[in-house]
Structure formats: C-alpha cells, structure tokens
Amino acid sequence: MPSVFYYLLIPITIAAVTMVLFTGIFGMLKGGKFNKQYSNKLMRLRILLQFLAIVIIMIALYIAS
C-alpha cells in the first residue's frame, strides 16, 4: 500500500499543484478578462490541492514509519 502513495499519489498531487500554480501565474501575466474571472478560483484550488498533497505525504510518512 505505501508504494501507491510514493509512486502514484504524491507525484500526481504535486503535479496538480504545479499546474494550477503556473496557470495562475500565466493568468496574472496575461491579465485581462481571464485573470479577473479565474484568479480567485485558481488560488482557492491551489490551496486545496496543497492541503491534499500535505495530507497524502503525511499519511505516506506515517505508514512508512
């Protein structure tokens, strides 16, 4: 079971956080309607995904110990 956390869930959550972060940065650089419409939603999604990533990492560390 821990191998699922190490090799599948952790990289997926980290990749999701990274994609949302870069989408938000790109939106801020671009500005305009996209930034006004999605900046707050992307920030909330990034925070939620970061929380989920931390929870999954902590569960994996707990199982491994």
Q: Amino acid letter at 23?
A: T
* Cα separation, 12 vs 14, whole angstroms: 6
Which pTM value belongs to this model? 0.82
CB 59, CB 23: distance < 8 Å: no
With 70 as the cut, is the pLDDT of residue 21 above it? yes
Contact, 55 vs 33, CB < 8 A? no
Residue 2 has pLDDT above 90, yes or no: no
Residue written as tokens 């870069």? 22
Q: What SS3 class is residue 53?
A: helix
Sign of CA dihedral 9, 34, 24, 47: negative
Chain segment 52-65, per-residue pLDDT in tens: 999 998 988 888 88
